[in-house]
Each structure stands twice: as C-alpha cells, then as structure tokens.
Amino acid sequence: MKLITAVVKPYRLDEVKTALQELGVHGLTVTEASGYGRQRGHTEVYRGAEYQVDLVPKVRIEVVVGDDDAEAAMDAIVRAARTGKIGDGKVWAVPVDSVVRVRTGERGPDAV
C-alpha cells in the first residue's frame, strides 16, 4: 500500500476529487495548509503599507491506495491539479506498513 500526499491549489480540489473517483478511489482526507515553494508568495498593500505574504493557502490531499493503483492515482492527481502556472504544488508517495478500518477491524489492503 502507498500513502499519496498532494499539496495543490485550493481551487483544483474539486477536479482532483472527481479524477480520483473516476479511478475508483472512494476515500480521501483534505487539510487546509499554508506553504510556499518556488512561487514565494505575493505582495499585498494596505493603506500604502506593503506586506509580503510568503505562506500562500494550499490544500493537502491524503489518500491510501493499493500498490498497483499508486502510479495511476498520482497521474490522475497531477493531471487534475495542473494549471501550468507556478505554484501548482507537489505530489509524493510513501510506502504504508499497515492500515486498519476502525469500524470493522479489517486490516491490510481490504481496509483501504
């Protein structure tokens, strides 16, 4: 099993969700996040005083999938989240040792 984490632009969330549902991925967790990469934020001006806002709003999407589905899921996220502009975000995957479904106690790939 793999844990896929994607940090993307908030307004791409719906597209990412739809793309994963089409792949048959039925559960995910979304967290509001702040961060910056090469984009380095932006400038805002209040009554003439400039503020450098370097932490920009992002969403972090986390989803656990079987090993065989990981590449396809990552591709789907990348396609759905891409705008081609700076600040589109990152997607990465790490191996997962074990998963338990809380309600039933199922373990391993069945619990995903």
Candidate list 26, 38, 48, 105; residue touching another protein; CB under 8 A: 48
Using alpha carbons only, what angle is made at residue 61 by residues 90 and 106, rounded to the nearest 5 degrees? 130
> Beta 89-95 vs 2-8: how paired, if at all?
antiparallel
Candidate list 26, 38, 46, 68; residue touching another protein; CB under 8 A: 46
Alpha carbon distance 13, 25 (integer Å): 15
Identify the DSSP state of 67.
G
Binding piece for another protein, criterion CB under 8 A, among 3-11, 17-25, 45-53, 71-79:
45-53
Does position 62 interact with another protein (CB under 8 A)? The reply is no
Using alpha carbons only, what angle is made at residue 103 by residues 102 and 108, rounded to the nearest 5 degrees? 55
Does position 53 interact with another protein (CB under 8 A)? The reply is yes
Candidate list 14, 37, 51, 79; residue touching another protein; CB under 8 A: 51
- φ, ψ for residue 63, nearest 5 deg: -145, 135
CB of 25 to another protein, least distance (A): 23
26 vs 47, which CB is nearer to another protein? 47
Binding residues for another protein, rule: CB under 8 A, are 32, 44-51, 53
